[in-house]
Structure 1
Amino acid sequence: MDTITQLLTIAAVVLGSVTTYVTNSLMERTKRRDTLRVRWDEKKLDTYVEYVGSVRACIYAAVLAYEVTHDIRSMPRTEHELLMDLTEAEGRRALAFERLMMLADEGVIEAAHAVNTATLAIDWRARRLVEGTLTEWRALHTEIFRAINAFHEVARADLGVNGGFAGDRHSARGLILPNARSSSTEE
């Protein structure tokens, strides 16, 4: 009976050790996976913020260039300087988009493509590569902000952010564009 008791004790110790080892291994694996997920979510968030910031810098640079080239605003800077600023902003946007392509899922990438398309339409108007009226210019801005809001929604979903915002109501808020000075400005 002594031998059986000793064998049962040894078996219980071995079983306890194996159980402890397996449990600790699974917990450690889960912890590493969660840490990795959080790390990638932080990188994604930084990338998404950087991308939207670079898009907004492009829009701002395009607005300044457009207003100067269309005699809506006068500035001490030349048209060439403003267009160079726009070129630099576009370069930063393109790099931010490449980083986004490396981290985002397909839905976020598709939304970013829509933002890029709308951003380039504004860029081309500011550079006078495409002509149009001030009303059409304003419509381009409505479209870019709609695209940015759609990007926000899919990026939030990708990051697992709960809640949302009313995209249409948010997009309908006034644009930061000057009013037309006269009816002749509308072309």
Structure 2
Amino acid sequence: MGSLLAQMPALLGVLVGTAGTIVATSLADRARWRRRQTVRWDERRLDAYAEFARVLKEAHTIASRTIGGYLDRNQELAALAEADLRHTIAWENVLLLGDGPTVAAARAWRDAVWEVERLARAAATGDELPDLLHRANEARDAFYRAARDSLGVGGGSVAQAALLMSRLNKGTAPAGRPTDEHHPT
């Protein structure tokens, strides 16, 4: 009995050490799993945001070209319909994976582009076009701000609306392009 009592502190030490190891390993595994999940969803969220931006910008570009009369109207309207289909699919991914502020910003950008599309489909060249283009560009800036915040991307502002508006007011654009600038800068 005396030898058992003498070994009791050592046995307790082994038990406490084993329990501590199990708890520490379990916590580390759980934290590692959470990090992997976070990275996995961030990657999918990035893909969803990028695809949404790409197809919405495509629709914006096609609508702007249609209003500007740069190509065959029927071809442009068919291309716009195809872009709208891709946009609808991309929108679902944003709804599924996006956070609240990014979804709200995406919705505002989408609505602004729809106004440009409405003008294109109506075969209008109205005076409202510069304001609609500027509103769409501002909404795009807000979407990118929200998406970058959602993904934890730093690096400062990437806003383009003010630059594009100044070019629109000056009437400067790359040769053969309308002044709302269809390529990223």
- Length-normalised TM-score, structure 2: 0.84
Shift of 1:166: 6.2
Residues in 1 aligned to 2:67 and 2:158: alpha-carbon distance in whole angstroms: 30
Residues in 1 aligned to 2:23 and 2:101: alpha-carbon distance in whole angstroms: 38
8 Å contact kept, 1:153–1:164: no
Does 2:48 align with 1:47? yes
Query: Which residue does the alignment assign to 2:88?
Result: 94
Structure 1, unaligned stretches of length 5 or more? 180-187
Q: Which amino acid aligns with 1:172?
A: A
Does 2:134 align with 1:142? yes
Q: Which amino acid aligns with 1:143?
A: R
How has the CA–CA distance of structure 1 residues 67 and 132 changed in structure 2, closer, same or farther, with 3 Å as cutoff? closer
Query: Which residue does the alignment assign to 1:30?
Result: 31
Residues in 1 aligned to 2:158 and 2:93: alpha-carbon distance in whole angstroms: 28
Q: Please identify runs of 4+ aligned residues in structure 1 that moved more than 4 A.
A: none
1:171 aligns with one of 149, 161, 172 = 161
Query: Which residue does the alignment assign to 2:182?
Result: none
CA deviations 1:109-141 (Å, max 9, x no partner) are 111110111010011111117x452x4212211
Give secondary structure in 2 for the equivalent of 1:17. helix
Query: Which residue does the alignment assign to 1:183?
Result: none
Query: Which residue does the alignment assign to 1:159?
Result: 151
Structure 2, unaligned stretches of length 5 or more? 180-185
Give the percent of matched residue pairs that are identical in Structure 1 and Structure 2. Answer: 29
8 Å contact kept, 2:141–2:158: no
CA deviations 1:78-108 (Å, max 9, x no partner) are 3222101001001111111111000011111
Residues in 2 aligned to 1:84 and 1:29: alpha-carbon distance in whole angstroms: 50
- Mapping of 1:49-128 within 5 angstroms? 49-68=50-69, 73=70, 75=71, 78-128=72-122
Residues in 1 aligned to 2:155 and 2:53: alpha-carbon distance in whole angstroms: 20
8 Å contact kept, 1:62–1:86: yes
8 Å contact kept, 1:61–1:82: yes
Shift of 1:2: 2.5
Paired residues in the alignment total 168
Deviates most, 59-68 or 102-111: 59-68
Q: What is the root-mean-square deviation in Å for CA atoms of aligned residues?
A: 1.7
